[in-house]
Structures are given as C-alpha cells and as structure tokens.
Structure 1
Amino acid sequence: MKKAERFSFCSEGILIEGETEPLKIDLLVLATGFKGVHKLKTTFTSATFRDLMDKDTRLPLYRECIHPRIPQLAFIGVSESIANLFTSEMTCRWLAELLDGTFKLPSITEMEEDVCQWNNYMKQSLGESYSRSCLGAVQIWYNDQLCKDMGWKPHRKKGPFRELFEPYGPMDYS
C-alpha cells in the first residue's frame, strides 16, 4: 500500500511523485473517497490523462466504468445510485467478465457514441444541470446493459407477470 498525491504510468508500472524508481504493479486501486471525480482529474501527472478526465463535468465512462481512450483503466463506484454497493458489485462483476475474456469492448468510436447517447438521455431526464453520474432512475436499464454484455438474460424474473410487476433487487442478479 502506498499513499500518493500524484503519479504517472510507465512501461514498468507507475512512477509516484517524489520516488526515483517506478513501482512494478499488476493492479492499481485508487481509493479516492468523497469528491473522487475531482481527485481523479487532479491525480494524474500526465497532461494527456488530465485532459481526458477534464472534458466534461463528469467522467465520460463507457458502462460507467471504462474511459474509451484509456480502456486499461477501470473506475468502480464513480456512478451514484439508490444502492451504491449493488451498482458497484454489478460493475465489478462486469469488469471481471471483461478481464476474463467473456466479451470484448467495442471500438473507441462506438464507446464514445454510447457515452454520448447516455449523457444525452440523462440530460433529457434530469435537465441541463445534470453534472454527476447518477443511475438511480435507470438502474434496471443499466443492469440490463451489463447483463447483455456478459451474455446473461436481462430479464431475470420467472414469468412475464413477475417481470412486469415485481421490483428488481440484488437477488435477481445472483
């Protein structure tokens, strides 16, 4: 574990500001806490990464997890919802299936178009003041997208009446 204000990626792993040797790593976890998006925008020493993070008031993430221009970097827990733990758990499962090779990411252009469509939908639903990624109103739609990507049936209830009238919850995705 290493606490760092700023770092940069390199071919050997990461270089932490103030350190002379890069850290050879396989996995980097950024536990940003509150105001995580702001911290992410100021964490990178690379101007390219900082610029990619600062294009919008929110992070432009495909499936609220992967930046189309930095697909090797995943974000968990950036999106808010009614039940953040459940959203993060679904996103972690989606990421695990992606890393396991169950499915592949679309092209950068396709991911950016999807992000743009998502943002447009959210702005229509929440108004122009929409500035944070909140899945509360579209939780089932979001989970359906993740399920389709992973090759799961998005309809999780047993029977059409239950599908139409019973609320979805975490146990429906176990």
Structure 2
Amino acid sequence: MHSMEYAAMEHDKAASFVKGRNVVVVGFGKTGLDISRECASVNGPEHPCTIVYRRDHWKLPDWAPWGIPLTYLYLNRFSELLVHKPGEGFMLNMLATLLSPLRWGVSKFVESYIKNKLPLAKFDMVPHHSFSKDEDTRSSLILYMPNPNNFFDALEEKSIQLKKSQSFSFYEKGICIDEDNTHIEAEIVIFATGFKGEEKLTKIFESSIFGHFISGSSRVPLYRECIHPRIPQAAVIGFSESLSNMYISEMRAKWVATLLEGVFKLPSVNEMEKDIARWDEYMKQSTGEYHYRSSIGALEIWYNDQLCKDMGMKRLRKNGPFANVFEPHGPTDYVKT
C-alpha cells in the first residue's frame, strides 16, 4: 500500500491494522520515519518494523547546532552569497567561488554537531555526502527529526530495523533484498516513496501535446516555478519544493494573482525557457550524483527577489543593510507589498 492509504486511516484503525504484524516501510523520509515509529510503538521488538531505504541523509536533532540557530547559517542573504545562483552576474559568481571554503566550513560545523548528538555511526547511518548537499536539494525531506531519542531507542531495542538496498523484490512471505538475497518476512509493505507529481500534471490535460510538454523533461519546466512557457494559461502552485513550502507557495500565489491583474507580463517563450535552463543547471550542479527533484534548494531569498522584482515590490525587505544581509528571512518579511 502507499503511505497515503495508511495516513487516511483513523489512528485507532491504523494501530489495529499493523498490530501483531511484521511491517516493512520502503523509504526513509519524514513519512517513512513517522510510520515506522507508529508501528514500533504498537508492536515493539516482537514484530519489528523494517525500514528499507537507498541511502542515508542528514537528520537534525534540533534547529540550533552548537547554540546557533540554523536560520542564521542557511536562511539569510549572506548564506546565499556562498552559493552559485541562476542568472547571477560576474561579481556574485566570483564571490561565491571565493567564499566556497566558508560554506564547506559551515557544513562541517553542522555535521559535527549532528554526529555528536545522534548515534549515527553506531547504526551505520552516517551519510557519505555533506550536509549542504541535503540542504541544497531537500533530498532528505526531513531536515528536522523531532524526539530523536524515541527513534534511536527503538533501533536499540530492535523494534525498528534498518536495511539499505537499491532494490528489492517480493516473494511469497515478504520481500527479498536483491544485493545479498536477504529475506524479510512481511505481511504489510508500505511505500513511503513520494508522489508522482509529474504524472498527475500530465493527466489533467486531454491534449497529448500539453502532456508531452509536461513530461518531456527531467523535471517539470516551470517559469518562476509557476508557469509552463508553452501552457501559460495553467499555473502550478507548490510543485517545486523549498525549506518553507507554505510561505513560498503563498508568494507564488501572490505572483500569479499579480500577473492576472496585469501588473506585469510574461517574457517571451524563449526567454522563459532560458531562465528555466539556468535553474536546471543549478539543480544539476547542486545534486551531483543524486537524482534532482524540482527544488529551489538553498536559494529561497534569491528566488523571492525575482518574484518581488516582477511584482514591483522592493527586494530588500528589512530595515538597514546589516539586517538585509545577516538576519534570517521568513514569512513576515513578505507581508507588505
């Protein structure tokens, strides 16, 4: 079953559904973590829940590593100066290159805190990539792990078990791990592996041509992550991920509403596709060996600046140069037009 089916159950019904059964959860994002902990709390070590996942990602025990709020490390303009940005000029490009050692240092600073607070090495959960890689791509889906002790206690008592694998197959009593032929008995297998957003967008069009426009790319090509250049009558809100999806989606809705009011006009199809290509290149460089999803990554402020410029809003939302560069940006900074 898919995790959506499980999540649709009432709490008591879900608990009775998994009680006394061996459960395998495929996927180790936020949904997979939540489901596995629920199963472990119901069944304990007598019927352990097994999480099957492909690779490790960084998990944050709290938002203030070594006492410094993460927002000051990753959600202000200074942090974005350390990153190469789509459409940046020569000076910003040079600055990001010169400051790259600082970005590496910030990443190692956060990683050292996580390793100190969580027993990742004990359970072979130390990622092989940097924290910045996850922060850039949102590939973990779960930068924050609430109540981490509950999860690691469940690992300790073996009510949750972990198995890394690139693939598996089913057999009559459960699943078989392809790499080492390990057989895991399971009466329930829950797929917490995300959602096929591209497929859903493709199917809303009767036109096969429009469907091809959506599916004919490695990600859905949206200008400003809202408008398809060749289907400008359709706006998509919330498809591309960010760290703060709620307020970024609200900014996109405001941008679309302002477009409909005629405050600004869309560029030519060619110009929009060039801009999309620049963001594509950024995502590919950010993810490296990992498959990249549609995400604005570590550039929320840079992205919001583009929306504000289109809408005729001021890009600098705080009072004073110091605040604009070093203070974290969030929803309240974009309330006024």
Q: For the superposition of Structure 1 and Structure 2, which TM-score range results when normalised by the shorter chain?
A: 0.7 to 0.9
User: Kindly tell me: are residues 152 and 130 of structure 1, through their superposed partners in 2, closer, same or farther at Cα, counting changes over 3 Å?
Assistant: farther
Residue 299 of structure 2 aligns to a residue whose secondary structure is helix
C-alpha deviation, 1:44, in angstroms: 2.2
- 1:83 partner letter: S
The alignment partner of 2:298 has SS state of: helix
In the alignment, what sits opposite 1:40?
201
TM-score by length of 1: 0.77
Alignment correspondent of 1:129: 290
Q: Is the CA contact 2:199–2:215 (under 8 Å) kept in the aligned structure 1? A: no
Percent sequence identity over aligned pairs: 59
What is the CA deviation profile of residues 19-78 of structure 1, one whole-angstrom value per residue up to 9, with x for unaligned ones?
Answer: xxxxxxxxxxxxxx9432221123322110111011113100000000000111110010
Aligned-residue offset at 1:130: 4.0
- In structure 2, what is the Cα distance between the partners aligned to 1:93 and 1:44? 25
Pairing of 1:31-70 with structure 2 (within 5 A): 34-70=195-231
Quick one: distance in 1 between partners of 2:276 and 2:312?
21
The answer for the alignment partner of 1:110 in structure 2 is 271
Contact 1:103 1:150 in 2 (8 A): yes
Q: Distance in 1 between matches of 2:293 and 2:199?
A: 11
Which residue is equivalent to 1:153?
Answer: 314
| Helix, strand or coil at the partner of 1:103 | coil
1:143 is aligned to 304
**Equivalent in the alignment of 2:332:** 171
Amino acid paired to 1:121 = Y
Amino acid in structure 2 at the alignment position of 1:76: I
**What stretches of structure 2 of length at least 5 have no aligned partner?**
1-193
* Distance in 2, Cα, partners of 1:148 & 1:130: 31
**Aligned residue pairs, count:** 142
Q: 1:74 aligns with which of 222, 229, 235?
A: 235
TM-score, length of structure 2 as denominator length: 0.41
SS at match of 1:71: strand
Structure 1 runs not aligned, ≥5 long: 1-32
Confirm or deny: 8 A CA contact 2:264 2:311 kept in the other structure. Answer: yes
Q: Which amino acid aligns with 2:257?
A: A
What value does the CA root-mean-square deviation take over the aligned residues?
A: 1.5
For 1:57, what is the secondary structure of its paired residue? coil
Match status 1:86 vs 2:247 = yes
Note the C-alpha offset of 1:83: 1.3
Q: Which runs of 4+ in 1 moved over 4 A?
A: none
Paired with 2:318 and 2:234, the residues of 1 have a C-alpha distance of: 33
Amino acid at match of 2:313: W
- Asked if structure 2 preserves the Cα contact closer than 8 Å seen for 1:61 and 1:68, the reply is yes
SS of the aligned residue for 1:133 comes to coil
The question of 1:95 aligning with 2:225 is answered: no
State which structure, 1 or 2, has the greater radius of gyration over its C-alpha atoms: 2
1:23 aligned residue:
none
1:73 counterpart SS class: strand
Query: Who is 1:3 aligned against?
Result: none
